[in-house]
Amino acid sequence: TILPTRSARTSVAQLRNAGFAVVVAETPKGGGTNSRVRVGPYADRAKADAAANRLRREFRLETCVTDSP
């Protein structure tokens, strides 16, 4: 999920408190900064899909499951 940095910090704290492993990457945009919040990694696709479903259901976040190297 890509969020303004202030919103990302709040989301990251909530996600970590809920037990998710979270990584944040900040990128400049229009004189400000946006943050990409990533959750994982997971051992397999089924666990990643289950986490994505939980994020959508409990936190109302847009999710996208991707393969990473």
What integer pLDDT is reported at residue 3 of this predicted model? 64
Cβ 34 vs Cβ 26: under 8 Å = yes
Cβ neighbours for 68, distance < 8 A, ≥ 6 positions apart: 40, 41
Task: Enumerate residue ranges in the chain where pLDDT < 50.
Answer: none
DSSP per residue, 17-60: HTT--EEEEEEEETTEEEEEEEE---SSHHHHHHHHHHHHHHH-
Q: What is the pTM of this model?
A: 0.79
Structure tokens at 19: 């037990």
- What pLDDT is attached to residue 4? 67
Q: Measure the CA–CA gap between 10 and 5, rounded to whole angstroms.
A: 9
Return the pLDDT at 1. Answer: 58
